[in-house]
C-alpha cells in the first residue's frame, strides 16, 4: 500500500562555516508513522531538523511538507507540522497557559478552547497551567512544548532529542506520551535521538545518519528477532554446533558463543539434550541482535573507511 | 491580518509589565511635580499677588519687536545666518501685530502647555530614551534567549514578526507620548484650559499662516508620530542586527542619546547634523520658527523618511535570507 508522504527531503546539502554539515540527505516520513532519526552527537540531526522547519536554508535540494515547499510556501507548509528544535524555547516569565496562547494567536487558524484544553490534558499539565514556566522542570517544559506543537492538529510533529536531559521516569513518560499521541490522533512523529534504546521501542522505522549522510533506513520489523546465545567450553564449540544443526536449527558462531533463533519454551529441553551428549552449557543469554548492532555496524563501518 | 493582530497581542502580553511600569513611573513623576508646584505656590516667598495678573509687567509684542530691531541693526552684516534668523523673528512678531493676533510671551493655560510640550527637548531627547526602554531589546532579547523559535516555528513568516514588533513599539510609544501630553495638561488644570479656536501663527515654508489651536495640535501630533515612527524603525533595526540585549541597548543609547555629544566637536568640519535623524525629530519647531538649524521642514522630513527607508531595507533584504537562530 502506498501511503502519503508527510515530509519529503530530497538530496539536501548544507554547508556551515566551511564544513559540509549535511551531505546529500534524502528521507521521507509517511502518514501515521513514527520514524526515528538516529545518529551520534554532532552528526547533523539538529541541522537537518532546522532545515525541515525552515529555520535555515539548504544550499541544495528541496524539502516538501504535504507537497508544499518549505522555502517558497512557508506558511502553508508550516501549518501542517509542529516542532521542537533542540531545547524547548518558552517564555519563562509567562504562565504555561499564556505560552500556549502565544502559539495559538499566530497559528493562522481558529483554535477553540476545547482544543487547547485537550492538548493540555494530553501532556498532563492541567494543574500547572497557571504557573510561570520558569518554575517548570525540564520534563514539564518538554511536555508543554509538545502541547504547543499539537495545537494546530498537525500532520506531523518533529521532536529533536525530546528525552535529552530527562531522568529515567521522564523518559518513560515521554515515550508513553508519543505512543499515545500516535494511537489517538494518527499523527506522524519524527523523533531524533542519539540513544538507541529509546528509539528502538518506539519507532516503526529508523533512519541512521552520520556525518551528514544517511547511512541506512530500516523497518523495525525487518530487524532480526532477539537471539539466544549459548556459551560452552571452547573445545566443545564445534560439536555443539553440529548437534544444534541436527536439531534443525540454524546456529551462528559468534566469538565463543553460539547464537540460535529459538522460542524460549524450547530452551530447557535443548540444553538438556546437549547435556546428555556431554556438552555443558555455562551461560544462556538473550542477545540484542537488533537495532544496537545495526546502529553500531553502520556507524562504525562508516568510520573505518 | 489575523496573524498581525495575533502577533501584536503576543507582543503586548510579553511586554505589558514593562509598559505598566513606565506608565506608573510617569504618573509618579508627574504627581511629584504637581505636589511640588502646589507647595511652591503656597510657601513661596514672593507675594503671590505680585506676579501673575499684572499685564503691565509682561513684555508686549511691541516691546519685543523694538528690542529685536535694535539687535538686528547692531548685528554685523557678515553674520548672515544670525541676521536671517533675527529677520525671521521680526517678521514673526510683526505678523502678529498686523494680523491682530493675541500674543503673550509668557502664557500658562493648559493648551499652551500642550502646544509647547510637543516641541523641544521632550520629543527630541527625553522621549527617545523612554522608547529605548520600551523596545531597544525587542528583537535581540528573543534572539539571545532563542524564544524567537516559538515564532519561527509558526506559519507567520519572519517579516510579519518584524512588522508586528515594529508596530508594537511605534504604537505603544505614540500612545504613551499622547498620555504624557495629557498629564502635562493636567498639571496646569488649576490654571484655565485655554481656547481651542484661538489663532496662532505658524511658519510653513517661506510664508506665515494663521491656524486655530486645534489644527496646530493635530499637525503637531502628526509630526510627533513621524518622529516616533522613525525612532521605532531605527531601534528595531539595531535590535535586529545586534543580537545581544545589552549590546543593542548600548548601541541604541549611543546612536540616539549620546550621538549629539559625540558629534558636536566635529560639526564644524562635517555638517552631520544636516543628515542625521536625531537632529530632525523636533518637526514642530519648524512651524514655530524655533528650529535650531537653518533647514526647512521639508528637509527634516526627507531626512526622517530616508532614515526609515534605509533601516527597513537593511532588515528587509536580510531577514528572509538568514539562518535563524544562528
Ligand atoms: N552554525 C554552525 N556553524 C558551523 N558549524 C555548525 C553550526 N551548527 C552546527 N554546526 C556543526 O554541525 C555539526 C552537526 O551539528 P548538529 O546538527 O547540532 O548535530 P546533532 O544535533 O546531530 O548533535 C556539528 O559538528 C556542529 O559543530
Ligand atoms: Mg542536536
pLDDT digits (tens, 9 = 90+) for A62-90: 999 999 999 999 999 999 999 999 888 89
Domains and CATH numbers, chain A: 5-222 (3.40.50.300), 225-289 (3.30.70.120)
Question: Closest Cα of chain B to A55: distance in Å?
Answer: 5
Whether residues B153 and A78 touch (CB distance < 8 A) is answered with yes
pLDDT at A153 over 70: yes
Nearest to B6 among A53, A99, A106 (CB): A106
Which residues does B105 contact at the CB level (< 8 Å), separation at least 6? B58, B59, B61, B64
Answer yes or no: is the C-beta of A21 below 6 A from any ligand 1 atom: yes
All three cell numbers of A194, joined, read 542519539
Contacts of B151 in chain A (CB under 8 A): 106
Distance A87 CA to ligand 2 centre (A): 9
Residues of chain B contacting A, Cβ within 8 Å: 2-3, 5-7, 9-10, 13-14, 145-157, 321, 323-325
Confidence (pLDDT) at A222:
58
DSSP state of A257: E
* Ligand 1 atom with the shortest distance to the CA of A41: 23
| Among candidate residues A196, A207, A191, A217, the one with its CA nearest the CA of residue A82 | A191
Contacts of A104 in chain B (CB under 8 A): 6
CA atoms within 13 A on the CB side of A302: 17
Query: Rounded to whole angstroms, how far apart are CA atoms A293 and A305?
Result: 18
Whether residues B150 and A75 touch (CB distance < 8 A) is answered with no
Closest CA to ligand 1's atom 24: A42
pLDDT digits (tens, 9 = 90+) for B238-254: 999 998 999 999 999 99
Answer yes or no: is the C-beta of A45 below 6 A from any ligand 1 atom: yes
Distance A42 CA to ligand 2 centre (A): 7
Per the prediction, chain A carries an average pLDDT of 85
- In a 3-state reduction of DSSP, which class is residue A68? strand
Contact by Cβ (8 Å): A49, A22: no
Average pLDDT of the residues in B9-37: 91
Entry pTM: 0.84
Nearest chain A alpha carbon to B160: A106
Distance B10 CA to ligand 2 centre (A): 28
Alpha helices by DSSP H, listed for chain B, are 2-43, 61-74, 80-98, 110-117, 121, 127-135, 140-144, 148-152, 158-187, 213-241, 245-253, 259-263, 284-287, 297-319
Query: Rounded to whole angstroms, how far apart are CA atoms A266 and A262?
Result: 7
Confidence (pLDDT) at B316:
94
A89 contact B CB<8A: yes
pLDDT at B233 over 90: yes
Where is B157: in which H helix or E strand? none
Whether residues A106 and B153 touch (CB distance < 8 A) is answered with no
Confidence (pLDDT) at A166:
85
B21-60 burial, b at 16+ Cβ within 10 Å, e below that, comes to ebeeeeeeebeeebeeeeeeeeeeeeeeeeeeeeeeeeee
The residue that leads in pLDDT, B233 or B34, is B233
Query: Rounded to whole angstroms, how far apart are CA atoms A228 and A262?
Result: 7
pLDDT at B231 over 70: yes
Confidence (pLDDT) at A113:
92
Q: Where are the domains of chain B?
A: 1-41+104-321
Answer yes or no: is the C-beta of A39 below 6 A from any ligand 1 atom: yes
Nearest to A89 among B147, B321, B323 (CB): B147
Whether residues B323 and A57 touch (CB distance < 8 A) is answered with yes
Question: Closest Cα of chain A to B325: distance in Å?
Answer: 7
All three cell numbers of A80, joined, read 501542517
DSSP state of A87: S
The residue that leads in pLDDT, B259 or B305, is B305
Confidence (pLDDT) at A87:
86
Whether residues B148 and A89 touch (CB distance < 8 A) is answered with yes
Strand order in the sheet with A281-286: A252-254, A257-260, A228-232, A281-286
Confidence (pLDDT) at B163:
95
Confidence (pLDDT) at B171:
96
Sign of CA dihedral A180, A184, A185, A186: positive
* Residue A224 pLDDT level (bands cut at 50, 70, 90): low
Contacts of B148 in chain A (CB under 8 A): 89
Contact by Cβ (8 Å): A106, B154: yes
The residue that leads in pLDDT, B246 or B88, is B246
Question: Closest Cα of chain A to B131: distance in Å?
Answer: 22
pLDDT at A302 over 50: no
Confidence (pLDDT) at A225:
57
Confidence (pLDDT) at A297:
59
* Residue A1 pLDDT level (bands cut at 50, 70, 90): very low
Average pLDDT of the residues in B130-148: 92
Contact by Cβ (8 Å): A13, A61: yes
Confidence (pLDDT) at A147:
93
Answer yes or no: is the C-beta of A248 below 6 A from any ligand 1 atom: no
Confidence (pLDDT) at A146:
93
The pairing of strands A156-160 and A81-84 is parallel
User: Could you count the other beta carbons within 10 Å of the beta carbon of residue B67?
Assistant: 12
* Residue A304 pLDDT level (bands cut at 50, 70, 90): very low
A73 contact B CB<8A: no
pLDDT digits (tens, 9 = 90+) for B300-324: 999 999 999 999 999 999 998 888 7
Contact by Cβ (8 Å): A8, A163: no
pLDDT digits (tens, 9 = 90+) for B28-71: 988 888 888 788 777 765 554 544 444 455 567 777 788 888 88
Confidence (pLDDT) at B326:
60
Average pLDDT of the residues in B264-281: 81
Strand partners, A216: A208
Share of chain B above pLDDT 70, in %: 92
Average pLDDT of the residues in A179-184: 89
Confidence (pLDDT) at B24:
94
* Residue A144 pLDDT level (bands cut at 50, 70, 90): very high
Amino acid at each position: 500500500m502506498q501511503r502519503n508522504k508527510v515530509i519529503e527531503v530530497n538530496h539536501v546539502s548544507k554547508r556551515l562555516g566551511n564544513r559540509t554539515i549535511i551531505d546529500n540527505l534524502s528521507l521521507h516520513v509517511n502518514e501515521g508513522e513514527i520514524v526515528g532519526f538516529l545518529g551520534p552527537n554532532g552528526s547533523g540531526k539538529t541541522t537537518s531538523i532546522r532545515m525541515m522547519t525552515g529555520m535555515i536554508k539548504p544550499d541544495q535540494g528541496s524539502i516538501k511538507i504535504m507537497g508544499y515547499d518549505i522555502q517558497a510556501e512557508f506558511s502553508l507548509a508550516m501549518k501542517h507540522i509542529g516542532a521542537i528544535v533542540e531545547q524547548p524555547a518558552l517564555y519563562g516569565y509567562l504562565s504555561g497557559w499564556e505560552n500556549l496562547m502565544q502559539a495559538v494567536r499566530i497559528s493562522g487558524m481558529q483554535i477553540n478552547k476545547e482544543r487547547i484544553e485537550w492538548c493540555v490534558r494530553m501532556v498532563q499539565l492541567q494543574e500547572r497551567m497557571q504557573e510561570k514556566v520558569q518554575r517548570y522542570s525540564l520534563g514539564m517544559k518538554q511536555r508543554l512544548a509538545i502541547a504547543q506543537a499539537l495545537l494546530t492538529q498537525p500532520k506531523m510533529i518533529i521532536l529533536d532529542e525530546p528525552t535529552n536531559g530527562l531522568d529515567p521516569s521522564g523518559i518513560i513518560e515521554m515515550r508513553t506520551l508519543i505512543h499515545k499521541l500516535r494511537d489517538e490522533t494518527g499523527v506522524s512523529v519524527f523523533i531524533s535521538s542519539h540513544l538507541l534504546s529509546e528509539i528502538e521501542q518506539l519507532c516503526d522505522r529508523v533512519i541512521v545518519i552520520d556525518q551528514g549522510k544517511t547511512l541506512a533506513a530500516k523497518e523495525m520489523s525487518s530487524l532480526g528477532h532477539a537471539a539466544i546465545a549459548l556459551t560452552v567450553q571452547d573445545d566443545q564449540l564445534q560439536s555443539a554446533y553440529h548437534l544444534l544443526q541436527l536439531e534443525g536449527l540454524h546456529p551462528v558462531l559468534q566469538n565463543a558463543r553460539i547464537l540460535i533463533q529459538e522460542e524460549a519454551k524450547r530452551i530447557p529441553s535443548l540444553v538438556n539434550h546437549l547435556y546428555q551428549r556431554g556438552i555443558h552449557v555455562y551461560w544462556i543469554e538473550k542477545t540484542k541482535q537488533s537495532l544496537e548492532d545495526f546502529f553500531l555496524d553502520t556507524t562504525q563501518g562508516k568510520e573505518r573507511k | 491580518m489575523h496573524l498581525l493582530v495575533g502577533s501584536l497581542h503576543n507582543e503586548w502580553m510579553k511586554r505589558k509589565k514593562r509598559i505598566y511600569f513606565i506608565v506608573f513611573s510617569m504618573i509618579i513623576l508627574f504627581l511629584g511635580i504637581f505636589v511640588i508646584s502646589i507647595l511652591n505656590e503656597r510657601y513661596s516667598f514672593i507675594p503671590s499677588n505680585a506676579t501673575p495678573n499684572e499685564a503691565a509687567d509682561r513684555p508686549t509684542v511691541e516691546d519685543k519687536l523694538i528690542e529685536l530691531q535694535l539687535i538686528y541693526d547692531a548685528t554685523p552684516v557678515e553674520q548672515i545666518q544670525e541676521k536671517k534668523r533675527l529677520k525671521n523673528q521680526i517678521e514673526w512678531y510683526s505678523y502678529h501685530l498686523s494680523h491682530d493676533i493675541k500674543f503673550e510671551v509668557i502664557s500658562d493655560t493648559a493648551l499652551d502647555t500642550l502646544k509647547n510640550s510637543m516641541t523641544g527637548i521632550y520629543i527630541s531627547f527625553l522621549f527617545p530614551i523612554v522608547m529605548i526602554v520600551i523596545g531597544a531589546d525587542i528583537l535581540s532579547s528573543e534572539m539571545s534567549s532563542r524564544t524567537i523559535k516559538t515564532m519561527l516555528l509558526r506559519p507567520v513568516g519572519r517579516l510579519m514578526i518584524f512588522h508586528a514588533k515594529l508596530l508594537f513599539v511605534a504604537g505603544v510609544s505614540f500612545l504613551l507620548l499622547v498620555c504624557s501630553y495629557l498629564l502635562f495638561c493636567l498639571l496646569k488644570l488649576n490654571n484655565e484650559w485655554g481656547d481651542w479656536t484661538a489663532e496662532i501663527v505658524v511658519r510653513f515654508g517661506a510664508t506665515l499662516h494663521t491656524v486655530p489651536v486645534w489644527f496646530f495640535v493635530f499637525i503637531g501630533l502628526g509630526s510627533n508620530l513621524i518622529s516616533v515612527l522613525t525612532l521605532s524603525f531605527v531601534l528595531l533595526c539595531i535590535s535586529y542586527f545586534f543580537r545581544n540585549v545589552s549590546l543593542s541597548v548600548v548601541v541604541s543609547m549611543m546612536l540616539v542619546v549620546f550621538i549629539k555629544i559625540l558629534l558636536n566637536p566635529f560639526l564644524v568640519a562635517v555638517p552631520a547634523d544636516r543628515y542625521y535623524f536625531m537632529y530632525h525629530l523636533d518637526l514642530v519647531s519648524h512651524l514655530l520658527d524655533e528650529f535650531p538649524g537653518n533647514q526647512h521642514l521639508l528637509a527634516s522630513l526627507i531626512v526622517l523618511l530616508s532614515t526609515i527607508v534605509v533601516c527597513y531595507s537593511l532588515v528587509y533584504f536580510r531577514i528572509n535570507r538568514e539562518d535563524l537562530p544562528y
